[in-house]
Amino acid sequence: MPEYRPAYVALGSNLDDPVAQIERATHALAALPLTRLRRRSQLYANPPMGPQDQPEYVNAVAALETALAPLALLDALQAIETEQGRTRSGPRWGARTLDLDLLLYDDLEWDDPRLTLPHPGLHERDFVLYPLAEIAPQLAIPGREPLVALLAQCPSRGLRPLDRADD
């Protein structure tokens, strides 16, 4: 029997119907082998982190249980991005159809050329912390303060929950 571990994935999009991109990505996460989608936050809209001459983003965070190894899960996430039209050219933090970031994998602290865990920007991004706190408020972030303490130090910079009427 495979051993399942908790993992958290940030989802973001600001091109080609971002709400639909996040919904499709959520279904793709649920269909990954050796992986169970446990929960996904509501959708949030927020200003872009990078160049400001791009549409606002739609973001969410998903909680998974997976028996995939961290790099195998990363490969699966990148395959979903590619299937949904993600290209890796253009400016850093530029507009994209889909961005899936592996935030946490169990309590693993890992620094690999392809993957750093916990995600290095997790503790300073409101569009990650607020949805993460929605689905896992008691979460302990390996090597950092508890999620609730990180959230208290990260004010929202325009992040807002999306109502279905906003879609």
How confident is the model at residue 28, as a pLDDT?
A: 98
Instruction: Quote the distance between the C-alpha of residue 34 and its chain's center.
Output: 19
Nearest to 70 by CA among 116, 30, 22: 116
Q: In percent, how much of the chain has pLDDT > 70?
A: 93
Nearest to 57 by CA among 16, 19, 13: 13
Q: Which residues are catalytic?
A: 86, 96, 99, 101
Interval 73-121: pLDDT, tens: 999 999 999 999 887 766 666 688 999 999 999 999 999 999 999 999 9
Average pLDDT over every residue of 152-162:
92
Interval 82-91: pLDDT, tens: 999 887 766 6
How confident is the model at residue 118, as a pLDDT?
A: 97
Cis peptide before 120 (omega within 30 of 0): no
How confident is the model at residue 61, as a pLDDT?
A: 98
DSSP string of 1-67, one letter each residue: -PPPEEEEEEEEE-SSSHHHHHHHHHHHHHTSTTEEEEEEPPPEEE--SS-SSSPPEEEEEEEEEE-
Query: Does residue 50 surpass a pLDDT of 90?
Result: no
Interval 122-138: pLDDT, tens: 999 999 999 999 999 99
- Domain architecture of the chain: domains with CATH: 5-166 (3.30.70.560)
Query: Does residue 6 surpass a pLDDT of 70?
Result: yes
Q: Residue 150: pLDDT band by 50, 70, 90 thresholds?
A: very high
| Neighbour count for residue 135 (Cβ, 10 Å) | 17
Q: Residue 6's beta-bridge partner residues?
A: 65
How confident is the model at residue 151, as a pLDDT?
A: 93
What are the residues whose beta carbons fall under 8 Å from the beta carbon of 18, sequence distance 6 or more? 55, 57, 58
